[in-house]
Homo-oligomer: A and B are copies of this chain.
Amino acid sequence: MKIAVVGTGAIGSFYGGKLAHEGRDVHFLLRSGIAKIKRSGIRIRGQKENFHVARVQCYETADAIGPCDLVLIALKATNNEALLQLIPPLLHQHTILLTLQNGLGNEDFLAQHFGDDRVMGGLCFICLSRISPGLIEHLDYGHLIIGEFIGSLRARTCAVAREFQQSNVVCQMVDNLMEERWRKLVWNIPFNGLTIAAGGITTEEILREASLHSAALALMNEIIEGAKSCGHNLTGDVAVEHMKRTETMGAYKPSTLLDFEAGRALEVEAIWGEPLRRAQANGAAMPRLEQLYVLLKSLNARRE
């Protein structure tokens, strides 16, 4: 498979780096930092993941890459408009577009502009921190869940999963991608949101302070109801599991909080706005999510 990586931030560098390190034919599209990556390659450092891709095929334009079999999309969702220019030169008749972006709406965006049938989605369960172009700190986790946007698993789903698995990435396939996205949002919506809106606190502070803990749980249950309204069969157990896992995280700052503190744009629509709109369109009352979305949108807008 000829593979392109669009967006060489933390996620693109890590998963693209894993594939390249195991000898796959990976082509990185970069907007900045290309000279440094050409010179020094991609380095992932951490206790569980520590490797260096010395020779990285990297490019300033999509035309220079040309048609690929698989395109990993790892841009911030706030930059999706740029894909309208970046994707077409990468397409042949059967090119697969796999979005590794957060939240809801990214598969739809790709489907709308490049056709339903090309689109797959992946959820990244990983804690990374980008130090500089090509230098990524790996903090924890790393597995992927991938699935088809339309229809159920097919031969190409397995082929894509195998690319990752053969590159030492734990990669699971699921039949219902959107249900997995909602399951992940049950964590992301409260924890990414409240850590920002409550003034820059860690997940540990949310668990420790009774009223924050209860606000997080109430949000989780609201999102589970929102998911149900959209036809996804999540139960209250999802909240319980997420809470248990969060207890093992220590004083963790979600990537969106780090983005916010660094003055970078938040993916407000993908993580909070789109789930809200979908649940409300299906008649779910989402008072907590609505208020949190409005506050985050305002906080985000004031820093742009």
Q: Which residue numbers of A lie inside 8 Å of B, CB to CB?
A: 194, 197-201, 205, 209, 211-212, 214-215, 218-219, 222, 287-288, 290-295, 297-299, 302-303
Q: How far is the CA of A138 from the CA of B202 in the complex (A)?
A: 41
Q: How far is the CB of A245 from chain B (nearest CB, A)?
A: 22
Q: Which residues of B contact A222 (CB under 8 A)?
A: 287
Q: Is the CB of A298 within 8 A of B198?
A: yes
Question: Given B214, B287, B291, B299, which contacts A199 in the complex, CB threshold below 8 Å?
Answer: B299
Which residues from B are CB-within-8-Å of A288?
287-288, 291
Residues of the B chain whose Cβ atoms lie less than 8 Å from the Cβ of A298: 198-199, 201, 205, 209, 212
Are A291 and B215 in contact, with the CB atoms below 8 A?
Answer: yes
Are the CB atoms of B218 and A299 closer together than 8 Å? no
CA distance in complex: A293, B200 (Å): 16
Given A198-B299, A218-B290, 20 additional A-B pairs, CB 8 A: A197-B295, A198-B295, A198-B298, A198-B302, A199-B295, A199-B298, A200-B302, A201-B298, A201-B302, A211-B293, A211-B294, A211-B297, A212-B294, A215-B290, A215-B294, A218-B287, A218-B291, A219-B291, A222-B287, A288-B291
